[in-house]
Amino acid sequence: MIRLLSDPRLGISALLSLTAALGCAASGAVGPATSADGVTRRDTRIVSEKCDIDSAGADKYDANGDGRPDLVIVSAGGREVCRAADLNFDGRWDSFSFFDASGKLRRQERDYDRDGQIEELTIYSAGVPTEQHRSTTLAGKLDTWHFFQNGKLTRTERDSDGDGVIDQWWEYKSETCPLIHSDVNGDGRPDPGATVDYCEVTGYVPPDRSGPRQTPSHTFEPPGSLPTELENKEQGETPEGGKK
């Protein structure tokens, strides 16, 4: 049965809010690397994990009232194991999330170009990201691997020519200004003199994040927080503030 969310007017806001609040089985990294003589090769296949959205334990929700599910929550053994979301309401699943036995996020898959194929895989440990694997060229295979420590991006590997051999190494001296080491001669190793300081070359200046946020982010408040017009009956005022 498809359940209609209480206020279809919320549309994408309601869907994002619900997917964020809600919490299938293999865990761990994908796309393993093999190294020999300093050359790193990676599995570029995009291997998706199955979320059984048609199982008996699946609850389906319709956020925009069009009669088809936009969010499916799959549970087993009294806990939620995975969910699928159609964030742009085009009838194709854009996002899959998978949870460990304690309810923490352990894996997320995303489709960004509306082709029904996954372009990004993120691996989590106890809800904290450890790796993120991407297909940035939309060629149907992985080409970029991000690695995190304590949830912070620390390094990146890239296969810029699609041959499965890493030829770029991004070292983050800060979150926004990486040093990019490249293999120019094709031997699979970073070459001397082929390192680029991203901020120095582009002239990019990272924004000052020490002060208060200037523009507040959207909080996707529930329906009860929607603004309402109030009428002051004692004073006999209209909602616009004038006298009757």
pLDDT digits (tens, 9 = 90+) for 5-44: 554 444 444 444 444 444 343 334 455 677 667 799 999 9
Phi, psi of 168 (to 5 degrees): -140, 140
In a domain, 68, yes or no: yes
Domain-embedded: residue 201: no
Pairing of strands 2-4, 58-62: parallel
Please give the Cα distance from 167 to 191 (Å, whole number): 10
Q: Which of 102, 148, 98 is nearest to 118 (CA)?
A: 98
- Please tell me whether residue 87 adopts helix, strand or coil conformation: coil
Kindly state whether residue 63 falls inside one of the protein's structural domains. yes
Q: Which two tokens stand for residue 160?
A: 């810029």
114 pLDDT tier (thresholds 50, 70, 90): confident
Query: Could you tell me if residue 21 is inside a domain?
Result: yes
Residue 60 structural domain: 1-26+43-100
Task: Report if residue 81 sits inside a domain.
Answer: yes
84 found inside a domain: yes
Tell me, yes or no, whether 142 lies in a domain: no
Q: Tokens at residue 201, please?
A: 């070359």
- Nearest to residue 168, comparing CAs of 135, 148, 146, 200? 146
Binned at pLDDT 50, 70 and 90, residue 182 comes out as very high
pLDDT digits (tens, 9 = 90+) for 79-99: 999 999 999 999 999 999 999
R_g of the chain, CA atoms, integer Å: 23
Q: How many domains does the chain have?
A: 1
The answer to whether position 230 is within a domain reads: no
